[in-house]
Structures are given as structure tokens and as C-alpha cells.
Amino acid sequence: MHSPDVASVVAAALSSRANGDDLHRAAEVVSSLADPAKLLETIDVIRNDSAAVQRCAALSGRHPLGHDKVTLIDMYPAFRLRIHAWWPNRRPGVEHIHHHRFDLATVIVRGHYEMEIYQRAPSGIQMIEYRQNSSAADQEWYLDSAGVAYLRLLAAAKMTTGAGYTMTADALHRVIVPEDTLCLTLFLAVLASADLSADTRVFAPLEGAAPTLSKSVPLTADNYRRLLDAISAELIRSD
């Protein structure tokens, strides 16, 4: 069983959101759960729950955008709570511009990255647009070219430890993590009102075409526990 206290706290926050509180309560609850001491407790509960480890390991692995996606709580179709971990000297250092099919709230637990927000425009930065879809098992990503698109940079900001933000499903953005930097974030995917059957749009530079197929190999239970241990060690080090 997942950490029941954490799951109920998130569920209550999202219920409040459904009653008109938008993403504000989701941001508040993620910020509270991102406290290193509280996050260490959550990880410890999950690590010692064999059923939770098996379920979350199957939903975890290396994401094509270059970070480890570590599921902590799977309450589909309501929400999923994850840690995203970028490790030093991994590739790639710069994500493609993309959006999500769901609203989200996230907090930087350790490290920093650059966040850029874009919008479509009649002229501007010329990109290759792709339609991304995934297999039924959600472990393969297919990219079909949709031609050339133009984007305009709306905002850019350096997000440091403790910073958090929310994002709607249609927001175009990318994250840039320096290659020599460890970065850990707590990420809440709000799924209840999401259209997960819709295509995700991905935008890549003309000179940096994206691969047409990316695969994510789910973690074994042992590898999942080792990854949790590595994250816990970094959280302890940051205290």
C-alpha cells in the first residue's frame, strides 16, 4: 500500500482544486511534501512496501528527455506523484520544447534549472513540430513530423532549490539542466481532467531533429530501491 497519509493529503488538495481552487492547492501540497525530511519519510515508507515497489517500479525509468522518472504514488486516474532526477554528466542537457497532457505542480527539491516558456507565433524561432504518442504500455514514444512551426519565447527564469510552479496542460516549455548539476524535483501530475488520448506536441530545432522512436525500460524492484536510496542519500546530504 502507498503511504496512505501522503495519498490522502494530495487527494484532498485535488478535491479542493475541483471545487474551483485551480492549481493553487496542488502547488501548496507539493511544496509541503517537498520538504526533505518529509520526502525522506515518504520514500522510506514506499521502499519498505513490496507491493508499492513493484507497482511504482513498473511506472519508473529513464525518460527520453534525459531524466529519471521515479513514481512514488500512483493514484491513476486521479494523480501520480513522482520524483524527477537529473544526474551529473547525463545526456541530453537540453530538453525539446513540449507540453504535457495534464496540469502539473512541481517543486525543486535540490539543484536548479532554467525554465523557458513559449507560445506559437506567425514568425519567430523556426522549429520542427512533432506529434508524440505512446504505446499502450506507455513505455515507447513515437514522434511523427507535423512540419515546421514558429515559436516565441515568452519568459525564462532560473528555478532554484525551494522554487515551485504550476503549469496547465497546453503550456509549451522546456527545462535546461547544466550537465554537471544534480537536480531533484517533486512532480505532481494532475490526471483527473486530462485527455491522455491526445497527442503531445514536441518541438525540436531544425538542426537537432528528434528521434522518431524512444523507449523507456521500466525498472526492476531492486533497481527502483537502489534509485530511491541514491535520491535519499542526496536529500540527507542537502539537509
Question: For residues 43 and 234, is the Cβ–Cβ distance under 8 A?
Answer: no
What confidence score (pLDDT) does residue 164 get? 96
pLDDT (tens digit per residue) in 168-204: 999 999 999 988 899 999 999 999 878 877 788 889 8
pTM over 0.85: yes
How many DSSP H helices and E strands does the chain contain?
A: 5, 12
pLDDT band at 42 (very low <50, low <70, confident <90, very high): very high
Quote the percentage of the chain above a pLDDT of 90: 59
Cα separation, 85 vs 157, whole angstroms: 19
Would you kindly state where each structural domain of the chain is located, as residue ranges? 4-238
> How would DSSP label each residue in 114-175?
EEEEEEEEEEEEEEEEEEEEE-TTS-EEEEEEEEEEEEEEEEEEEEETT-EEEE-TT-EEEE
Report the top-level CATH class of 4-238: mainly beta
Strand partners, 143: 132
Q: Which carries the bigger pLDDT value, residue 164 or residue 144?
A: 164
Cα separation, 161 vs 106, whole angstroms: 11
pLDDT (tens digit per residue) in 106-147: 999 999 999 999 999 999 999 999 887 765 455 566 778 889
pLDDT (tens digit per residue) in 65-104: 778 999 999 999 999 999 999 999 776 556 789 999 899 9
